[in-house]
Amino acid sequence: MSTTFSPAETLRQYRPLLLAMEAIGWLHMAGKARAEFLRRHGGENNGYQERQWHQHETPPFPWDNLLDWVRRLYSAGIPNNAWPNTFAAFTEQHAGRNPGLLGLLQAGHGIVSGIEKNLPGSTSDYLRQSIPHTWLSSPWGYPKRNLLADSPEILSPQGWRRLVEEIRRVLEELRDLGTQGVQDVALWRRWRESAIGEGSFIRRAFLSTLAETRLPNNDVTLWDQSYVAAALFKSAAAGALLDSSFPWGDSGIKNKIRWRLLTVALGTEHYEARAVKIGDWTGAQGAIEEFFRRVAELVEVDLAVGSLLYRDGTVVVFSFPGERSDETVQASWLNGWEQWLQEQADKIALDLDLETPPHVRLSDPTRSLVPMVREWKGARSTVAIPVHKPWDILWLKPSEARGHVCPVCGVRLNGDPTSKGKPCAVCRERRHHRRDAWLQGQLGYDTIWFEEVADRNGRLALLTFSLDLEDWLNGERVDSLRAQAIPEWVRFNPVLDGTANPIDPQRAYLNLVNYVRGKLASFNKGDPVLKNLQEGYQHASDWQTFFQNIVEDRANAPSWNSLNDDERAIWLAHQLFRKLPSPGRVYRFWREAEEFFRDLLREFRQIAARSNNRWRVRRLVLTPQDPSSWHDLTLYNGRWRGQPISLLYVGSLGGFVTASNLARLLRAEEGANVFQNADILLEDEDTPGQPRNMTVDEVSTWPRSYGHLGVYHPVIPVDVSPLRFRVLVPLEAAPECVDLAFARWRERFARVWDRLPLRVGLIGFPRPVPYQAVVEAARNVEDALVKGEETWQVREVERGSGAVALRLRRKDGRETLRMVPVDLPDGRPDVFYPYVAVEEQKPRFPKDFQHPNGQVYRLVTDLRPGDGVKVFPARVKTLFMESAAARFDVAPPRYLEDWAAMREVWGLLQRVAPSQTALQRLRSELARLEKEWGSPEGVPEDLWRDTLRGLLVHHLEAKGTPLEALTEAAVQGTLQWALDWHLTAMKERGG
């Protein structure tokens, strides 16, 4: 393994410079974090200039005093003409065209902001938001906050003062580290974390306000823009330092810079599949997270060559320098980087005793994040089966090199020839790592014990959620969103350069395509239409260059030379009006998805903790009469009052910590003294079959040093990433959690319901079912939920109260209702988000548009009965596992809206059923009927319906509207689902 790599050493020498450039990138748009910025763009003539915010401070903010040390330290390594005259130029001129370091920031800033923003101000005034309605939107059009009516802290005078003080602190600490020649990477990492870490004020402040107020670009926060621009600036500067022939004096460098994507992946699915207990998986997760943390420290701080652009549990992606567009072959300064980075990642993985090697890859050069999904999908596929390469598994102790193969990792020996179930030393340490973190309060108030999660029936649920995010990250589904609607643009720009706008708003899309096609014969920088739609058009030199910037940089599109003029015109017309997957927006997509899941987790904690028994979320300390005879930090299981009980012996407390749902053991009105003098027969979890009696000498609550363990949330987060959210909750709380997730999804993703489905899996199981079987069942459920596109037929369209109600016929022939918001909060029509893909071959309505691949999109207000809409449906699958064998269940998933229907049916049954016995008899009779008649699809519908109605009348004595509703539910199979789930899995009572 190589120990030195001269390009890496070069970057380490320039670490202070590169981190200073990154800090400039974070802060170069800080002036937008003021209410005056939003008010000026909302129509107030306040004279505020966000790029000169430092001049408005009293005294002026001292950029040069805080940053000039960088120029002094690196004057020998960077030419004089590469530095701006003052460091304030980075805030004042980041949108210009300059050489040197300023040009590199301009390159990152320009590509992150998004080409669709490059509209002449006078022609885009109609897209501005007003002061009463300046909204921060989600990237899928959900209005999140009215920033001036409900201002976040940063938009207050106190918030701004705090931000300025924080900027000063960050730059002063940076100066101290740089001028003192600090080499300790940990100190640099702590500085960076304090500046922009999860809890930092700069990050929180920038997340709460906008970088752009115009519609529909109010979906990207100031943080998204600033952070990704800083990442690209930092990588571009690193590449320039590595390139001995870099053209520092080129004033056109902004449009030539490209980047690569550094992808690092690890086969986390392997560790999950091998986990015998949940502690095996969460312990491995901790080791994997530490691996990715160390990789990030190497890339972001030690080398300061890039910054994190994407992460999930398996893959991380960083920015990395790439060749310029005028470098037609791989640049020599990039030689050896991929191999060296692979060696460093291998070293980190071996140091953490990981059983599988990581995979490292550098992408081809690009000017966007569009290839990111392709990169991490390829990396994920590569590590799905552990990479085959020499991999030295280190034995921690000579005594471990014997015994049986570890049942968890499957590669080490456990050191114990007498036990096949004992894990090896590494896996034991991982398993116990979660316990130690819990004791130290590092997990907050979440529990780690299955017995505490289990409900009053001793049952748990593993909930798994996912959003179909991949095609949003690679830009494909962004095709359906508009930066402007062509007829709206024509309406607000009837005159261009003194002549009438030539685009016919009634045939807008086809007219625009024909117009562009007619202009391809020659390149006219003064064309009134094209320079109005894209400000950069008048700075381009020819059609091919313009096409590369507008189309090839921002889409998985064919190159100019592979198309004819008709195809080129279609691509240009499409790109000029679509919302683009700019790096800032792609970063926001995955971050917003993860935030959605974290919001759900916070609410799940509250749902799971609700109980009319105060002991549900409390713990006690039971001191035994013979404390010295028990093993420290060992879990013991036993029974008391006929119920299972788990106790963890903690030597520092001199007693046992309850690790069970006490509401199963104590009534609400009982006191803790019930345990006094209790005799409990216990056995060590790892050595069952050797029970011992424990007599409780004293019962107490929590001492101050362990106060964080006195109460808990009965949830265990298993995986929270942009692509997947898994969490363990009490089974009795699981339906309400699914109800909440469904409601939140319908609310926040209503405008893109057809292209961003929520997939829900609910796996219920009794506590004794092995966790490994539960995980396998979850993976099977997740695979079953992934289905392709369907076509649903529009049956009815009704407009009212700012929304459109769509009645649609699904693929299964049943009808469903969708409410789609079609107005913005200020009352204007939303012509940016609520478009659907339709079956037609040509645009029919003025706002219709067509993708170059032929797909036609239509605003939902223009839908008509009979239209076919292409939908990626949201789905749900429920599974109750009485035993491990149930993990092979092959029942198909259902549409997610059927879950809500099932819950309503159960509510109706609880109201009308005369008794629990009647429900059980009805359920048995329905099962017998389906078995004897075979598949109901083969029975005449009227006969089947009448038979079901008769059963309901006989068993439930139902009549009137409830009878008709239950009959319809029985015909659709929803009634049987409600009975099976609530009576068997939930053990609920009805009637």
Helix (H, G, I), strand (E, B) or coil at 59: coil
Quick one: pLDDT at residue 484? 93
Contact 468, 756 (CB under 8 A): yes
* Sequence-distant contacts of 241-248: CB under 8 A, at least 24 apart: 241/10, 241/11, 241/14, 241/17, 241/18, 241/77, 241/78, 242/7, 242/10, 242/11, 242/321, 242/333, 242/334, 243/331, 243/333, 244/333, 247/99, 248/78, 248/79, 248/81, 248/82, 248/99, 248/100
**What is the pLDDT at residue 326?**
87
Instruction: Region of 58 please: left (phi>0), alpha (psi -120 to 50) or beta.
Output: beta
Alpha carbon distance 610, 613 (integer Å): 9
Which candidate, 833, 840, 839, places its Cα nearest to that of 859? Answer: 833
By DSSP bridging, strand 655-658 and strand 621-624 are antiparallel
- CA 364 and chain centroid, separation: 25
- The CA distance from 956 to 918, in Å, is 6
**What's the CA angle centered on 232, arms 575 and 538, to 5 degrees?**
40
Q: How many CA atoms lie within 13 A of 16 on its CB side?
A: 23
User: How confident is the chain (991 residues) per 10-residue block, as mean pLDDT?
Assistant: 81 98 98 97 94 94 97 92 95 94 95 69 86 97 97 97 98 97 97 96 97 93 96 97 94 92 94 89 92 98 97 95 87 92 95 92 89 86 76 66 87 86 89 88 92 95 96 91 95 93 95 96 92 86 90 86 96 93 91 97 97 95 91 93 93 93 94 93 84 92 82 95 96 98 98 97 95 94 95 96 96 95 96 97 95 97 97 97 91 96 94 92 90 72 88 90 92 93 89 68
How far is the C-alpha of 636 from the C-alpha of 26, rounded, in Å? 51
Whole-angstrom CA distances from 988 to 315, 593, 739, 802, 908 are 42, 34, 17, 40, 14
**Helices 185-196, 15-27: inter-axial angle, 10-degree rounding:** 0
**Count of all residues that appear for the chain in the document:** 991
Structure tokens at 417: 């020839």
| 124-149 burial code (b ≥16 CB/10 A, e <16) | beebebebebbbbbbbbbbeebbbbe
Three-state DSSP class for residue 139: coil
Question: What's the Rg (C-alpha) of the chain?
Answer: 31
CA 987-988-991 angle, 5° bins? 140
Q: pTM surpassing 0.75?
A: yes
Residue 609 and residue 682: Cα distance in Å, rounded?
Answer: 28
490 contacts 847 by C-beta, under 8 angstroms:
no
Backbone phi, psi, residue 352, to 5°: -95, 10
Q: Residue 762 forms beta bridges with which residues? A: 463, 878
Amino acid identity, position 291: F
Judged by DSSP in three states, 698 sits in strand
Q: What would the two tokens of residue 418 be? A: 């007498």
Q: For residue 19, what are its two tokens? A: 């981190």
Q: How far apart are CA 80 and CA 78, in angstroms?
A: 7
Tokens 């064309």 locate to 527
- Closest Cα to residue 221, out of 232, 229, 212? 212
